[in-house]
Amino acid sequence: MTRIGTLASGRGSNFNALVDAWKKGSIPGAEFVVLISDKPGTGALDVARGFGVETVTLSPKDFPSREAQEEAVIAALRDRKVDLVCLAGYMRILGPKFIGAFPGRILNIHPALLPSFPGLHGQKQAVEYGVKVSGATVHFVDAGCDTGPVIIQAAIPVLDDDSEETLAARILKEEHRIYPEAVRLFCRGRLKVSGRHVRITPE
CB 136, min distance to ligand GRF, A: 6
CB 137, min distance to ligand GRF, A: 9
Give the binding site for ligand GRF (CB under 6 A). Answer: 8, 10-14, 88-89, 109-111, 175
**Which CB sits closer to ligand GRF, 1 or 145?**
145
Burial of 151 (0-12, 13-18, 19+ CB in 10 A): buried
Distances (CA, A) of 4 to 70, 81, 98: 17, 9, 15
CB 58, min distance to ligand GRF, A: 17
Q: What is d(CA 33, CA 25) in angstroms, rounded to the nearest whole number?
A: 16
CB 123, min distance to ligand GRF, A: 8
Give the residue nearest to ligand GRF (CB).
89
CB 201, min distance to ligand GRF, A: 26
What's the residue count for the chain?
203
**Which CB sits closer to ligand GRF, 81 or 102?**
102
**Which CB sits closer to ligand GRF, 111 or 148?**
111
Strand, coil or helix: what is 122? Answer: helix
User: CB-based contacts of 195: which residues, under 8 Å, 6+ apart?
Assistant: 149
Distances (CA, A) of 132 to 21, 42, 99, 108, 111: 31, 33, 34, 24, 15
- The residue annotated as part of the active site, out of 110, 139, 176, 197, is 110
**Which CB sits closer to ligand GRF, 8 or 82?**
8
**Which CB sits closer to ligand GRF, 64 or 150?**
150
Q: What is d(CA 142, CA 15) in angstroms, rounded to the nearest whole number?
A: 21
Q: Is 110 a catalytic residue?
A: yes
Q: What is d(CA 16, CA 189) in angstroms, rounded to the nearest whole number?
A: 23
Residue 64 φ then ψ, to 5°: -70, -25
Active-site amino acid positions:
110
